[in-house]
Amino acid sequence: MIDAAKAVAIPADQKILHVLPQEFIVDGQEGIRDPIGMSGVRLEAKVHIVTGADSAAQNIEK
């Protein structure tokens, strides 16, 4: 699910640095911090995506 959040469109010069889950929704029930062990049909997540300039990220990784 977190990988699916990375499919969001961002500018070509940006890079996704982190995907931070804020809450999960199981079968319409909101406010779930940790859905592990729960059962349901539909699982959704609200996430914050942290991006940064691709060139800056490459400089940091060197």
pLDDT mean over 4-25: 91
Q: What is the pLDDT of residue 5?
A: 81
Q: What is the pLDDT of residue 1?
A: 74
| This prediction's pTM | 0.73
- Please give the share of the chain, as a percent, with pLDDT higher than 70: 98
Query: How high is the mean pLDDT of the chain?
Result: 91
Q: What is the pLDDT of residue 62?
A: 67
7: closest CA among 39, 40, 45, 38?
A: 45
43: closest CA among 56, 29, 53?
A: 29
What pLDDT, in 10s, does the model give residues 44-59? 999 999 999 998 888 8
Cα–Cα dist 45/25, whole Å: 6
Distances from the Cα of 19 to the Cα of 30, 41, 55, angstroms: 19, 23, 19
